[in-house]
Copies of this chain bind each other. A is one copy, B any other.
């Protein structure tokens, strides 16, 4: 069976991987927050062992699921210096609350409508 390729959502390689599920509520949206959030997506995508990310925000609530090849890649990203500064600023200024869940992907299904 031919592998289905997603067009707009994150496509994962066949190899095992981890998901980092970041759910958040911001106190208020401001330009600095939006800029930093975009910068973090850009930086994460430059990290080694990063298959991709899906990220959605609806008013003050956001979910970002980033995927990582292994625990080592997750640790490197967590400790990346600019990301660490953003995490500190997030706690002091932007977030009302958030959760971070690291989960090992056990299986995956995808669906893609033909040319609709």
**Chain A positions near chain B (C-beta within 8 angstroms):** 6-10, 12, 18-19, 21, 23-25, 27, 54-58, 61-63, 65, 91, 95-113, 116
Residue of B nearest to A107 (CB): B102
Determine which of B10, B21, B110, B116 lies in contact with A19 in the assembled complex, contact meaning CB atoms within 8 Å: B21
Task: Tell whether, in the assembled complex, residue B101 and residue A104 are in contact, meaning their CB atoms are under 8 Å apart.
Answer: no
A105–B20 alpha-carbon span in the complex (Å): 9
Q: List 24 A-B contacts (CB under 8 A).
A: A7-B97, A8-B96, A8-B97, A9-B23, A9-B24, A9-B61, A9-B97, A9-B99, A10-B23, A19-B21, A19-B103, A27-B116, A54-B61, A54-B99, A56-B56, A56-B58, A96-B116, A97-B110, A97-B113, A99-B109, A99-B110, A101-B107, A102-B108, A103-B106
Contact (A109, B103) CB under 8 Å given A8-B25, A27-B116: no
A113–B61 alpha-carbon span in the complex (Å): 15
Residues of chain B within 8 A (CB-CB) of A62 are: 56
A8–B23 alpha-carbon span in the complex (Å): 10
Residues of chain B within 8 A (CB-CB) of A57 are: 56, 58
